Structure 1
Amino acid sequence: MGDMIFTGASVDEAVASAKSVLGEHFEYEIVEEKKGLLGKVVKIRAWRPVPSVIVKKLLEDIMKAAGKEATIYVDEYDEGEIHVRIDGEDLAGFIGKHGKFLDTFEHFIDQVIRLRFDKPVRLDIDIMGYKARRAEKLLSMIEKKIQYMESRRLRSIKLNPMPRWERKIVHKLVQEHFPSYTTRSFGEEPNRRIEIKRVG
């Protein structure tokens, strides 16, 4: 749905008209305010914000406020999935030790976006390729754990605690590469862990 025009005798009336069509979450600008023979007429242009556009603008503002030069790439997929890649120099502070700040940063952006939209948005942010490199190491670790399970004929194995975004990667890697196994998260933050189990 693109931009739509709504009119009313006041801004509030025009906004209420837009709300009845677009729901609670929309943005608008006043395009015309005039007085005629029949009274005041206000015209607004309203639209539903696009999650990927909001994410990119928010991240650009944060990088600018931090004094960092960064290029931000955003891809939005079906079912509200948004992938962000941020490239630049001197961005290690946004990653933190073992990616802990990146985990917090991603969670913060995710919560801000959830406040703007009715439907949940699944957000994934990678900075300077850190997650991509980490995913390769996690895949190697998973392979070794599964080989160990098979050599010992174990039904399951529990991994060490890891941050939220690493758990997401592990769940995805096991699903994609090891169909005979499944995963589940358990425990409380910051010690939440993953268990890898044989299927059946």
Structure 2
Amino acid sequence: MKKVTVSGKTIDEAVELGLQRLGVDKDQVEIQVIEEPQKAFLGLIGGKPAVVEMKVKPEPIKEAILFLRDTIDKMGISASVEKEERHEGIYLNISGVDMGVLIGKRGQTLDSLQYLVNLVANRQSENYLRIHLDAEGYRERRKEALETLAERLSSKAVRTKREVRLEPMNAHERKIIHTALQNVKGVSTYSDGAEPHRRIVVVPK
């Protein structure tokens, strides 16, 4: 974190000098007044300048990306991270070799990384940020696979007239299944069980 201590005849003057040194705007810094200015007695002795300490506020997304890159390096994976802004939030797309290790079984490692990255970003942010992690298009492939699974199991439920219970999934993946089947005639869905073993049940009507 960049920090400077500056002085000036007034607090405003000291702040302006600090902003020039740091090369940032006022809304990008935290300002702490160390000493108030004091006028000299009879204009001759005892005068003191204003002294302020100024710190550049951390940028949440930048901090999150730095954390992610450092974590990937420590995992021994050679990869790059690209930021993409979408209407549903910020996406950090990871590409490189050994992505299977980073994704983990059913995306569990990727989900854990995403959770940690969001913690880092929101520790630095005044407003809640939502950051999504993806690796070599895994999220879209997984979504398509879950939608295909949902279609197949809904057909099975209708054909056998019996409930079909899916494997445990996280909340995001359960939402994909619910959404895929919400307009399918002949079936309904509900979630059953407690985390992390919560699963979807497909029910024939």
Superposition TM-score tier, normalisation by shorter sequence: 0.5 to 0.7
Could you say what secondary structure the match of 2:183 adopts? coil
- Partners of 2:176 and 2:66 in 1: CA distance: 28
- Residue of structure 2 equivalent to 1:40: 50
Deviations 1:155-178 (A, max 9, x none): x6432112x2xx413413542675
Change (3 A) 1:143 1:115: same
Considering only aligned residues, what root-mean-square deviation do their CA atoms show, in Å? 4.1
1:193 pairs with 191, 199, 202, which one? 199
Task: Give the aligned residue type for 1:193.
Answer: R
Aligned residues: 173
Task: Give the aligned residue type for 2:179.
Answer: Q
Change (3 A) 1:198 1:53: farther
- Residue of structure 2 equivalent to 1:151: 159
TM-score by length of 1: 0.62
Alignment of 1:82 with 2:90, yes or no, is: yes
Task: Give the aligned residue type for 1:135.
Answer: K
Percent identical residues: 25
Query: Structure 1, unaligned stretches of length 5 or more?
Result: 1-6, 15-21
Conserved in 1, the CA contact under 8 Å of 2:78 and 2:96?
yes
The worse-fitting range, judged by mean Cα deviation, of 177-186 and 127-136 is 177-186
Conserved in 2, the CA contact under 8 Å of 1:182 and 1:197?
yes
1:111 pairs with 116, 119, 127, which one? 119
Conserved in 1, the CA contact under 8 Å of 2:147 and 2:180?
no
1:168 pairs with 169, 172, 192, which one? 172
Task: Give the aligned residue type for 1:28.
Answer: V
Change (3 A) 1:55 1:43: same
How far 1:66 moved relative to its partner? Answer: 3.8
Task: Give the aligned residue type for 2:166.
Answer: L
Conserved in 2, the CA contact under 8 Å of 1:56 and 1:72?
yes
Change (3 A) 1:177 1:159: closer
2:150 pairs with 129, 142, 151, which one? 142
How far 1:64 moved relative to its partner? Answer: 3.4
Within 5 A, what are the aligned runs for 1:37-76? 38-42=48-52, 44=54, 49=59, 51-76=60-85
Change (3 A) 1:60 1:34: farther
How far 1:88 moved relative to its partner? Answer: 0.4
- Partners of 2:180 and 2:91 in 1: CA distance: 18
Change (3 A) 1:115 1:197: farther
Change (3 A) 1:194 1:110: farther
Query: Structure 2, unaligned stretches of length 5 or more?
Result: 1-10, 19-25, 38-46
